[in-house]
Amino acid sequence: MTTRRLGRTDLYIEPLIFGCNVLGWTLEESAAFTVLDAYVDAGFTAVDTADSYGRGKSETILGNWMKARGNRDKVLVFTKVGSDVGQGHRDLSAKWIAEEVDASLKRLQTDRIDLYQSHWPDPNTPQEETLEAFDRLVKAGKVRWIGSSNQDENLLGEALAISKSKAIARYQTVQNEFNLYDRSSFEGAVQDLCVKEEVSGIGYFSLARGFLSGKYRSITDADKSARGKAAVDKYLNPKGERILGALDAVSKRNGTTPAAVAIAWIGAQPGVGGPIASATSAEQLKSLTDGARLKLSADDLKQLTDAGR
């Protein structure tokens, strides 16, 4: 399995990032340990969380797992700052970043974060202030690299220009929603900028809230999970059915699952460092890791891409 470099860094990841948003929500600590163990046993290392996931519970469970396993040096920890976690607004101010990074480090039980990401744009804080705050964390050794999330091409381009002009830490990644159905937040202008500037795209909701696994094919399937109703309401329509049809055909040709194919499609797109996906069982996880290793043909990729247009 070939690793991929994130941005202009010496940070290399396998082509899958485990999404820790489920920790403390649909996956409590003991079950989380089992799934995380299976993930690293399968040869993967990158995990993505945020201070806002469970109001810190996800980071806490992840920190407990790394301590229990003694594997911090073998895991790449990605987390985020900037969501409203009780302060009443999104916050990327220098003051909040300086406070919250220490809170995250404490919950994670570590002395550094491999990739620290701005979670959402903060219209009340200039990007220059945010980037300078991140740069101080890099210089202090608390953070190795920085990334962004939910930025369009204008915000990302502005941020890269500020970092270049001031010779400070730059965003090496942009984490936007990206899957076979939801493509507009990354595909096009953001993707082109990533390719040009060597910024790695990290797609979240890679399975479209589970819809692309094929588990939601009728209204009655909405009760299958916590996200079932949202998935059915948004995706169970002619476009979604076309995509499921393409996933079924391609997965059958490749002897794998629709979820694996959906993951492989993301990984094959230009500018992508890796997709984020979550699992709550070893069975679900296997589809994700299979997808990270799956190489689709040009015909497979075209069929899938065309179905989502």
Hey, what's the torsion of the CAs at 90, 92, 96, 102, to 10 degrees?
A: 110
For residues 148 and 98, what is the distance between their CA atoms, to the nearest angstrom? 17
Q: Which of 39, 53, 171, 235 is catalytic?
A: 53
192: Cβ contacts below 8 Å, ≥ 6 apart:
153, 271
Tokens of residue 196, six digits? 């040009």
Catalytic residue list contains 53: yes
Residue 9 sits at the vertex; the CA angle it makes with 265 and 68, to the nearest 5 degrees, is: 80
Q: Which of 239, 234, 281, 285 has its CA nearest to residue 263?
A: 285
Beta-bridge mates of residue 41: none
For residues 45 and 162, what is the distance between their CA atoms, to the nearest angstrom? 31
Beta-bridge mates of residue 143: 113
Positions marked catalytic: 53
